Amino acid sequence: MVGAAGDGPKRTIVFLLVPNFSMLAFANAIEPLRIANRIVGREIYRWRIASADGATVTASNGVLCTAAVGLDEERRSLIDGRRPSMILACSGVFVEDVQDKALFSYLREAHQRGVAVGGLCTGAWLLAKAGLLSGRRCAIHWENIAGFAEAFPMAEVYADLFEIDHNIYTSAGGTASLDMMLSLIREDLGDGIVNRVCEQAITDRVRGPHDRQRLPLRARLGVQHAKVVRAIEIMEANLADPLSLAEIADHVELSRRQVERLFERELGLSPARYYLEMRLDRARHLLRQSQLPIVEIAIACGFVSASHFAKCYRELHDRSPQQERAGRQKIASVA
């Protein structure tokens, strides 16, 4: 606990911004701290903005954010009176391209010195590269889960809003950053203050860490039939080792023909086609978010050969897996 509103010590947080960071995740993390200070009437929370070199950082939306300090000064703060309570690395798109050894070293040193460390949006990727997530629970944006899980199999990644594993904090970004910081404020100042922060932020509740990142399948796909929803859930759980239609039909206690009719009616696709496009969508995320060889991506998405994978991918996306990856790298270099 930080303590009572009138006498609690300050909690200092360093927001470490990485190029192409998510402005949405960053704003949703810093604003509740400002609001809490305003409600309490004193500086309970203090923060500073850092970047690798102390220079301006560009967010993924093109907005420039001025950093107050660089990593060299922040490293010195770990051993003097300015040591922060927490460091939150904020990243966004193209996080897998970050190869900053000094940044990873700084995060490791801070963690070793007892400073809480965390990641916003795709920040878990940075913590994993720093070697801090082996055997740890973490959260990352749902779009990055496939690539992250393949790159860091020792981390326990979940599609949760946020995860707190001892003194490691990760959130999925977007409005999930707000939920994680509201949880922190509640821990520090209690329900009364956090409820007033919610009122100021015009949010009706503090979501729990295990609330959904995405809409339920029914809402996301506009599907109402429970058997179709269940069949899709089974498909999603078996992308690397696809089940046969007969096996899926057995799981939902229908005949093959009944499953086919339901998919055609609800989705306008056959079950086989829907399953194939689901696997190819996962492959697309892996091509964009990882450096895995294409043959390994093919296997991870349930294809028996790279050639069969390439044929299916081209038919759906009108470009080869190699072209998909080359296009993504071109965009990253421009960004």
The region, left, alpha or beta by phi > 0 then psi within -120 to 50, assigned to residue 309 is alpha
Residue 50's DSSP bridge partners are 16, 69
Residue 88's DSSP bridge partners are 15, 118
> Per-residue pLDDT for 134 more than 80?
yes
Non-local CB neighbours of 166 within 8 Å, separated by 6+ positions: 136
Tell me what pLDDT residue 4 has.
Answer: 46
Nearest to 158 by CA among 175, 170, 166, 167: 170
Tell me what pLDDT residue 3 has.
Answer: 44
- Name the token pair of 107: 């995060």
> Per-residue pLDDT for 139 more than 80?
yes
* Greatest mean pLDDT among 105-109, 156-160, 227-231: 105-109
Domains of the chain: 11-201 (3.40.50.880), 217-334 (1.10.10.60)
DSSP 10: P
pLDDT, average across residues 163-174: 94
Tell me what pLDDT residue 114 has.
Answer: 94
* Separation between Cα atoms, residue 132 and residue 109, nearest integer Å: 11
* Separation between Cα atoms, residue 6 and residue 122, nearest integer Å: 36
- Range in 173-177, 198-202, 296-300, 327-331 with the lowest mean pLDDT: 327-331
Which H or E element spans position 174?
none
Q: Which amino acid is at 154?
A: M
Q: Which amino acid is at 105?
A: S
> Per-residue pLDDT for 330 more than 50?
no
* Separation between Cα atoms, residue 34 and residue 327, nearest integer Å: 40
* Separation between Cα atoms, residue 304 and residue 283, nearest integer Å: 14
In this structure, what are the phi and psi dihedrals at residue 226, rounded to the nearest 5 degrees? -60, -35
For residue range 2-22, what is the model confidence (pLDDT) as tens digits?
Answer: 444 445 557 999 999 999 999
For residue range 185-235, what is the model confidence (pLDDT) as tens digits?
Answer: 999 999 999 999 999 999 887 788 877 676 666 666 778 788 998 999 999
pLDDT, average across residues 290-316: 92
Strands 162-165 and 168-171: antiparallel
Query: Whats the size of the chain, residue-wise?
Result: 335
Query: Could you give the 3-state DSSP secondary structure of residue 35?
Result: helix
Nearest to 236 by CA among 220, 257, 253: 220
Q: In Å, what is the CA distance from 88 to each residue of 30, 106, 214, 294?
A: 10, 12, 23, 33
- Range in 164-178, 199-213, 299-313 with the lowest mean pLDDT: 199-213
Q: Where are the beta strands (DSSP E) in the chain?
A: 11-17, 45-50, 57-58, 64-65, 86-90, 116-120, 137-139, 156-158, 162-165, 168-171
For residue range 27-56, what is the model confidence (pLDDT) as tens digits?
Answer: 999 999 999 999 999 999 999 999 999 999
- Name the token pair of 187: 């821990």
Tell me what pLDDT residue 204 has.
Answer: 80
